[in-house]
Amino acid sequence: MQTSNLQIVYLLLGSNLGNRKEILDKAINLLSQKVGVIILRSKDYETAPWGVTNQPDFLNLVVSIQTRLKPLQILEITQSIENQLGRIRKEKWGARLIDIDILFYGNEIIDEPNLKIPHPLLQERDFALSPLAEIAPDFVHPVLGETISELREKLISIS
């Protein structure tokens, strides 16, 4: 497997079906085995669904992981973990057992057909910004040039 220098990757995990806490814990365990060392983990956040709103509430959290893997390798592994834990992709933004999104990969900007980093909708989603602000409040968004705390405050003020 190709490796690069150590990077910090921020991942958003969410679940709104089944035993959400147990599924998230299993996902974190698999991420620590397959992606790298988990540095920080936010608390769990109970959040209303976004996009498609007629579904159960989500449990969301963010982890930071120190890794040598490249972004596309991480995407492949996170999708494999989702499948292993029983995710079935039916509708965009629909209910799911597990969802793992790559929010940031260091300060890199990646624009591939199947992978956009930073996550393009991050600044619109408090369910991602709140747990991220807990563990990385001063991290500067490499495209928007604002800290996570600033982005969250801006989102809250317009809500």
Rounded CA gap, 21 and 91, in Å?
23
In the annotation, is 96 catalytic?
yes
Task: Choose, from 96, 125, 126, 152, the residue flagged as catalytic.
Answer: 96
Task: Choose, from 99, 125, 126, 152, the residue flagged as catalytic.
Answer: 99
Task: Choose, from 20, 101, 125, 152, the residue flagged as catalytic.
Answer: 101
Name 110's bridge partners. Answer: 117
Quick check: helix, strand or coil at residue 40?
strand
In the annotation, is 41 catalytic?
no
In the annotation, is 89 catalytic?
no
Task: Tell the burial category of 138 from Cβ atoms under 10 Å away from its Cβ (0-12, 13-18, 19+).
Answer: exposed
Task: Choose, from 20, 87, 125, 152, the residue flagged as catalytic.
Answer: 87
Q: Which of 108, 116, 123, 26 is nearest to 67 (CA)?
A: 108
Known catalytic residues are 87, 96, 99, 101
